């Protein structure tokens, strides 16, 4: 029979392989023995009351404080670290372990090629009041690499904070820049870190389904470290329900497309602390790259670039004096407390509504930096995506709910997955295959995409130049699926997820009870890669076409095999055709 064999393996999707996490940086977490007075119960007014008070700035020798009558944000001056966030009578909903550990900071993990890696909490050296009105205060805490005497990451960094009248929270964005001719550098990670107060925040919420009470960080310290330091078997626990459970921050990762809202809830007093990422444009890797969200600490992250789930392909490398400038954010930190239904669900729903409001307002009109472009300075691209796959239809068919996105020009159709330098703009097509990608930062891009159920990824052959205020009308765009004939056999569903394959039960010794009886989240359990050599002790997986069933016989991840002498080697899945 003629025809190219088409098969699908889970490898192109961003599998949640914990084995790959070994490359990653551990949270720079140290708990302090300093005790923090537990916040007492404070009277909570109905709703997020919006006082008429304007925004007030007070700046002193080592602090700058912005107060809008709802929240009070204290920043170190000129360092630009979040030292305190006052809300609902609680002096600080964040944890601080001074002098070197703060409630909120921006850090970069980096090295000179060949040098030692470090994670640097970027310290501002210059404080500037950008805007100071009744309605809004914007502050800048910047640092200039050329003027720095120390061995710091070769970036100029400008950390900008905005507090607005009537808003229960603050906005934070960071502009990073390297100039032409600056030294070579590798950057593994750019992120914002928030540390809600340990004594208050015990309930974590990262999605509609993944919300739970969390173990204490102290439980981790006495626990048994597993294959990598982030995974710990809790041998003792302050709350007995966590004893003999695995805690591992990678179990709470979400794909970037689902990354917009995450946070923590305090029960006494009832307060929600939320980090809202209104856009994916500044997060590297495309819609399906998983990233960390929140984890035991308590910690809440806003990730911008990282090697998580990928490794060295996602290092932001600069060579030969190449310049760069990028704006990360703004990210919103939102605080809530609502009565009468002051429960976890009510706080989550309210935070979700706020997130949706922020998404609607994107791009923001109130950001002062000229490096952040408001809607009027952005452009758009529209078109209709058709898919030409003769097996689905003899003529090209409208591609429904396909993902289409603009990312920096690349040499392959999956280049967007590895891009860490540019911005990305994604949307999904309507039932007719129509799409409009709005609010694109001007520049040259490729259009990438894929169609659920259709094998392959596409890249439009033409460079797309976005100009301010302009819409590029592409008209019909046809994606020709890579196929020479009819499908003879197929394993799984080409949809950039490995959910349909066989996910083993975790080792009963290494369970996170929360994910038991949640079939869609089973893959998050610790140590599933160790089940592979147990299931296939002598030889690798053999899949008999026409006999085997991929739900039962195709291991969901291509994992490494650990042999008796602990040598880790590759495995090969064998597909056997009936002959």
Ligand X SMILES: *[C@@H]1O[C@H](CO)[C@@H](O)[C@H](O)[C@H]1NC(C)=O
Q: Which residues bind ligand X (CB under 6 A)?
A: 549, 551-552
3-state secondary structure of 217: helix
Measured distance CA(276)–CA(208) in Å, rounded: 15
Q: How far is the CB of 561 from ligand X (least distance, A)?
A: 25
Measured distance CA(572)–CA(549) in Å, rounded: 18
Give start and end residues of each alpha helix (H) in 159-288.
Answer: 217-222
Q: How far is the CB of 503 from ligand X (least distance, A)?
A: 11
Measured distance CA(32)–CA(195) in Å, rounded: 13
Q: How far is the CB of 549 from ligand X (least distance, A)?
A: 4
Query: What does the longest C-alpha to C-alpha distance in the chain come to?
Result: 81
Of residues 215 and 494, the one with the C-beta less far from ligand X: 494
Measured distance CA(51)–CA(171) in Å, rounded: 19
Q: How far is the CB of 523 from ligand X (least distance, A)?
A: 16
Q: Which residues pair with 66 in a beta bridge?
A: 57, 73
Q: How far is the CB of 500 from ligand X (least distance, A)?
A: 9
Q: How far is the CB of 552 from ligand X (least distance, A)?
A: 5
- Per DSSP bridges, beta strands 224-225 and 104-111 are unpaired
Of residues 356 and 553, the one with the C-beta less far from ligand X: 553
Of residues 145 and 550, the one with the C-beta less far from ligand X: 550
Q: By beta-carbon distance, which residue lies closest to ligand X?
A: 549
The answer to whether the peptide bond before residue 183 is cis (omega within 30 degrees of 0) is no
Residue 69 C-alpha from the chain's centroid: 31
Measured distance CA(66)–CA(56) in Å, rounded: 6
Residue found by looking up tokens 């950057």 in the block: 187
Q: How far is the CB of 576 from ligand X (least distance, A)?
A: 17
Distances 283 to 164, 279, 358, 407, 487 between C-alpha atoms, Å: 25, 8, 16, 11, 36
DSSP string, 253-306: -EEGGG-SEEEEEEETTEEEEEEE---STTSTT-TT-EE--EETTTEEEEEEEE
From 86, 55, 89, select the one nearest 72 (Cα to Cα): 86
Of residues 465 and 551, the one with the C-beta less far from ligand X: 551
Radius of gyration of the chain (CA): 25
Q: How far is the CB of 13 from ligand X (least distance, A)?
A: 20
3-state secondary structure of 222: helix
Q: How far is the CB of 524 from ligand X (least distance, A)?
A: 20
Of residues 145 and 502, the one with the C-beta less far from ligand X: 502
Burial class (CB in 10 A: 0-12, 13-18, 19+), 33: exposed
Q: How far is the CB of 531 from ligand X (least distance, A)?
A: 17
Of residues 84 and 557, the one with the C-beta less far from ligand X: 557
Residues 6+ apart with CB under 8 A from 174: 106, 157, 158, 159, 160, 190, 192, 327, 328, 329
Residue found by looking up tokens 């593994």 in the block: 188
Measured distance CA(440)–CA(464) in Å, rounded: 11
Of residues 31 and 548, the one with the C-beta less far from ligand X: 548
Q: How far is the CB of 502 from ligand X (least distance, A)?
A: 9
From 74, 87, 512, 55, select the one nearest 274 (Cα to Cα): 87
Q: How far is the CB of 550 from ligand X (least distance, A)?
A: 7
Of residues 317 and 500, the one with the C-beta less far from ligand X: 500
Of residues 61 and 552, the one with the C-beta less far from ligand X: 552
Yes or no: say if 333 and 301 are a contact pair by the CB < 8 Å rule. no
């Amino acid at each position: 029979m003629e025809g190219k064999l088409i098969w699908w393996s889970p490898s192109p999707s961003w599998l949640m392989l914990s084995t790959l996490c070994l490359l990653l940086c551990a949270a720079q977490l140290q708990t302090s023995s300093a005790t923090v007075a537990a916040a007492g119960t404070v009277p909570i007014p109905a709703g997020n009351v919006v006082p008429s008070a304007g925004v007030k700035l007070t700046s002193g020798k080592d602090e700058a404080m912005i107060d809008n009558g709802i929240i009070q944000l204290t920043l170190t001056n000129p360092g630009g670290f979040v030292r305190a966030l006052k809300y609902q009578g609680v002096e600080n909903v964040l944890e601080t372990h001074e002098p070197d550990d703060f409630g909120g900071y921006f850090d970069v993990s980096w090295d000179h090629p060949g040098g030692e890696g470090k994670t640097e909490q970027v310290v501002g050296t210059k404080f500037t009041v950008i805007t100071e009105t009744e309605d809004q205060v914007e502050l800048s805490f910047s640092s200039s690499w050329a003027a720095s005497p120390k061995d710091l990451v070769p970036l100029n960094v400008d950390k900008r904070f905005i507090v607005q009248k009537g808003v229960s929270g603050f906005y934070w964005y960071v502009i990073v820049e390297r100039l032409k001719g600056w030294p070579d550098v590798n950057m593994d990670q750019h992120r914002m870190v928030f540390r809600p107060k340990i004594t208050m925040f015990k309930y974590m919420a990262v999605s509609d389904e993944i919300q739970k009470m969390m173990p204490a960080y102290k439980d981790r310290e006495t626990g048994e470290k597993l294959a990598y330091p982030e995974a710990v078997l809790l041998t003792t626990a302050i709350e007995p329900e966590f004893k003999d459970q695995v805690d591992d921050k990678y179990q709470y990762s979400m794909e970037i497309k689902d990354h917009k809202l995450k946070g923590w809830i305090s029960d006494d007093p009832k307060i929600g602390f939320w980090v809202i990422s209104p856009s994916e444009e500044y997060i590297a890797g495309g819609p399906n790259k998983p990233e960390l969200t929140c984890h035991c600490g308590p910690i809440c992250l806003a990730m911008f670039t990282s090697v998580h789930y990928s490794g060295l392909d996602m290092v932001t490398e600069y060579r030969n004096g190449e310049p760069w400038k990028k704006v990360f954010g703004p990210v919103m930190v939102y605080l809530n407390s609502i009565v009468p239904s002051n429960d976890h669900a009510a706080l989550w729903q309210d935070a979700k509504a706020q997130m949706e409001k922020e998404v609607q307002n994107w791009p923001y009109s109130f950001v002062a930096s000229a490096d952040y472009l408001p809607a009027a300075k952005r452009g758009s691209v529209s078109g209709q995506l058709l898919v030409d796959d003769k097996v689905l239809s003899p003529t090209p068919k409208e591609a429904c709910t396909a993902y289409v996105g603009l990312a920096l020009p690349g040499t392959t159709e999956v280049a967007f997955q590895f891009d860490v330098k540019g911005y990305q703009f994604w949307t999904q097509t309507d039932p007719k295959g129509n799409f409009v990608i709005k609010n694109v930062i001007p520049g040259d891009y490729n259009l990438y995409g894929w169609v659920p159920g259709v094998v392959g990824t596409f890249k439009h052959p033409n460079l797309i130049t976005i100009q301010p205020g302009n819409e590029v009308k592409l008209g019909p765009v046809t994606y020709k699926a890579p196929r020479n004939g009819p499908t003879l056999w197929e394993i799984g569903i080409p949809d950039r997820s490995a959910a349909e394959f066989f996910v083993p039960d975790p080792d009963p010794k290494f369970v996170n009870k929360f994910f038991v009886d949640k079939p869609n989240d089973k893959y998050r359990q610790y140590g599933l890669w160790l089940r592979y050599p147990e299931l296939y002790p002598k030889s690798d997986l053999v899949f008999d076409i026409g006999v085997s069933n991929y739900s039962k016989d195709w291991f969901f991840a291509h994992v490494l095999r650990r042999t008796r002498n602990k040598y880790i080697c590759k495995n090969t899945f064998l597909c056997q055709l009936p002959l």
